[in-house]
């Protein structure tokens, strides 16, 4: 009788049986006993594969933990704990990847970075614009991002682009804005697919853009003035009804009301106040200067720099001194009668006041807005015999 090799012995009446252990087969009572189902070599291979699989799982786990740590580090480095207290939603990178469909639809790009179109996919399916900035340097990045978040989280106006949230889990934080479908005023005026723009629409764009800057300068805060620092047609967005919304607060500054100026800004050289260029001092009158150029774009439909290297503000001021401004008007609206020409000339005169070399001779944004409203009112009196009272 052979012992029960590689199995378990079970008593039976008058005999016993030998059941092989797991992984073995055969008859334990025979001289061969229970034999391994696989060879030693195969077992070694299976064992090796098992070890490799375990190592792979461990490496994947460590990689995922490392990625999570990077996200946490970026979140904290970008002021996540501080920004939690502000009135903005903090998006995860994973959620933004989904919202933008992995950043497939670019709706704007330039030296500042790129802007992607997205949709929340929620029940209301809100369309959004995700701004991914390219910092000039590390300090500028942190300063610019902090400015934009701090300022926009504390202001609300129908003519300012609304900040919906931000993502802090990337090296360069991303900002999520409401989507403004028509793009920028610059695109509408000067783009390849520019469309007719009636005088009344131009006046409304001018008025409500000015109103937005008035809000920033004097109404958004009781203790601070908000300087935009980069007013230009490219930073005035238009919705489907051509309602303007001032955007891009990356260069904006919160300035205490008892201070006269600040010496920090990065803006578009075609629009920057020459007084700031000389002195390094930025004031609310610097925004007034830049807005004056936007008014000239609306009047002439010419770029701030046009026909090579012509300067629109310099050429228009020169033309106004020589009584030849009407030659610079956009014929699309100027050709519709004397009333249109007179209105364009009045807007042009407001722009020239904004461009005065002495900042003390420039109007405030509130004065600009009121002058534009009166200008529109007078034009409506001519055009429609409106009952509005112009003062």
pLDDT digits (tens, 9 = 90+) for 241-300: 999 999 887 555 655 444 555 555 556 788 999 998 888 888 899 999 999 999 999 999
Whether residue 213 lies inside any domain: the answer is: yes
Same domain as 314, residue 243:
yes
For residues 54 and 365, the model is more confident at 365
Whether residue 2 lies inside any domain: the answer is: no
- Is 131 assigned to a binding site? yes
Q: What is the mean pLDDT of residues 38-51?
A: 76
As given in the structure block, the two tokens for residue 105 are: 């639809």
Domain that holds residue 311: 185-384
| Domain count across the chain | 4
Same domain as 25, residue 131:
no
- Is 373 assigned to a binding site? no
Angstrom distance (rounded) from CA 169 to CA 175:
12
Confidence of residue 76 (pLDDT cuts 50, 70, 90): low
Q: Are 145 and 153 in contact (CB under 8 A)?
A: no
Which residues does 231 contact at the CB level (< 8 Å), separation at least 6? Answer: 213, 246, 271, 287, 290, 291, 294
- Is 235 assigned to a binding site? yes
Same domain as 154, residue 24:
no
DSSP state, residue 215: I
Whether residue 287 lies inside any domain: the answer is: yes
Give yes or no for residue 205 having a pLDDT over 60: yes
Q: Are 21 and 8 in contact (CB under 8 A)?
A: yes
Q: Are 230 and 289 in contact (CB under 8 A)?
A: no
State the pLDDT at residue 358. 95
Exactly one of 230, 273, 287, 330 is catalytic; name it.
Answer: 230
Same domain as 232, residue 106:
no
Same domain as 247, residue 118:
no
Q: Are strands 163-167 and 89-91 parallel, antiparallel or unpaired?
A: parallel
Angstrom distance (rounded) from CA 32 to CA 280:
97
Q: What is the mean pLDDT of residues 75-93?
A: 65
Highest mean pLDDT among 36-40, 125-129, 343-347 belongs to: 343-347
Same domain as 229, residue 364:
yes
Highest mean pLDDT among 23-37, 161-175, 328-342, 370-384 belongs to: 328-342
State the pLDDT at residue 256. 46
Whether residue 335 lies inside any domain: the answer is: yes
State the pLDDT at residue 387. 52
Confidence of residue 64 (pLDDT cuts 50, 70, 90): confident
Q: Are 199 and 375 in contact (CB under 8 A)?
A: no
- In the block, tokens 């051509």 appear at 242
Q: Are 297 and 304 in contact (CB under 8 A)?
A: yes
Highest mean pLDDT among 77-91, 189-203, 266-280 belongs to: 189-203
Angstrom distance (rounded) from CA 328 to CA 312:
10
60 class by beta-carbon count within 10 Å (0-12 exposed, 13-18 middle, 19+ buried):
exposed
Pairs from 61-69 (Cβ < 8 Å, separation ≥ 24): none
pLDDT digits (tens, 9 = 90+) for 108-145: 877 678 899 999 876 777 899 998 877 655 555 555 56
Whether residue 390 lies inside any domain: the answer is: no
- Whose CA is closest to 136, among 299, 292, 266? 266
Three-state secondary structure call for residue 1: coil
Is 187 assigned a catalytic role? no
State the pLDDT at residue 355. 98
- CA 383, distance to chain mean position in Å, is 39
Whether residue 1 lies inside any domain: the answer is: no
Angstrom distance (rounded) from CA 174 to CA 166:
6
Integer CA distances (angstroms), 93 to 70, 168, 190, 355, in order = 12, 8, 35, 44
For residues 50 and 22, the model is more confident at 50
Integer CA distances (angstroms), 348 to 121, 292, 338, 357, in order = 45, 9, 15, 16
Integer CA distances (angstroms), 341 to 202, 208, 345, 386, in order = 13, 21, 6, 19
Same domain as 319, residue 221:
yes
Q: What is the mean pLDDT of residues 74-88?
A: 57
Same domain as 372, residue 245:
yes
Query: pTM of the full predicted structure?
Result: 0.75
Confidence of residue 38 (pLDDT cuts 50, 70, 90): low
Whether residue 217 lies inside any domain: the answer is: yes
Same domain as 372, residue 279:
yes
Residues constituting the chain: 391
Confidence of residue 317 (pLDDT cuts 50, 70, 90): very high
């Amino acid at each position: 009788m052979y012992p029960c090799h590689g199995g378990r012995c079970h008593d039976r009446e008058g005999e016993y049986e030998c059941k092989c252990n797991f992984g073995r087969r055969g008859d334990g009572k025979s001289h061969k006993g229970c034999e391994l189902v696989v060879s030693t070599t195969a077992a070694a291979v299976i064992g090796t594969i098992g070890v490799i699989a375990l190592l792979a799982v461990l490496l994947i786990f460590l990689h995922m933990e490392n990625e999570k740590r990077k996200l946490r580090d970026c979140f904290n480095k970008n002021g996540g704990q501080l920004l939690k207290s502000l009135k903005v939603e903090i998006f995860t990178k994973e959620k933004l990847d989904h919202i933008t469909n992995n950043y497939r639809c670019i709706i704007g790009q330039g030296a500042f970075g790129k802007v992607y179109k997205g949709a929340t996919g929620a029940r209301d399916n809100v369309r959004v614009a995700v701004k991914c900035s390219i910092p000039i340097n590390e300090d500028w990045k942190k300063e610019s991002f902090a400015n934009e978040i701090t300022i926009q989280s504390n202001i609300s106006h129908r003519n300012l682009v609304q900040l919906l949230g931000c993502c802090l889990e990337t090296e360069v934080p991303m900002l999520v804005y409401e989507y403004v479908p028509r793009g920028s005023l610059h695109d509408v005026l000067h783009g390849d697919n520019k469309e007719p723009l009636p005088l009344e629409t131009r006046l409304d764009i001018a008025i409500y853009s000015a109103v937005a800057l008035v809000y920033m300068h004097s109404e958004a805060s009781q203790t601070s003035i908000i300087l935009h620092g980069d007013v230009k047609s490219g930073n005035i967005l238009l919705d489907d009804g051509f309602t303007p919304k001032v955007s891009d607060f990356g260069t904006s500054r919160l300035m205490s009301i008892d201070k006269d100026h600040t010496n920090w800004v990065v803006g578009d050289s075609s629009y920057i106040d020459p007084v700031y260029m000389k002195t390094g001092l930025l004031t609310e009158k610097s925004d007034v200067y830049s807005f004056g150029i936007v008014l000239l774009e609306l009047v002439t439909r010419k770029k701030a720099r046009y026909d090579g290297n012509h300067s629109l503000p310099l050429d228009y001021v020169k033309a106004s001194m020589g009584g030849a401004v009407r030659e610079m008007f956009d014929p699309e609206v100027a050709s519709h009668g004397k009333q249109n020409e007179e209105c364009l000339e009045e807007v042009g005169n407001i722009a020239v006041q904004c461009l005065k070399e002495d900042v003390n001779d420039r109007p405030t944004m509130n004065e600009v807005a009121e002058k534009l409203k009166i200008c529109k009112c007078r034009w409506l009196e001519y055009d429609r015999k409106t009952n509005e009272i112009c003062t």
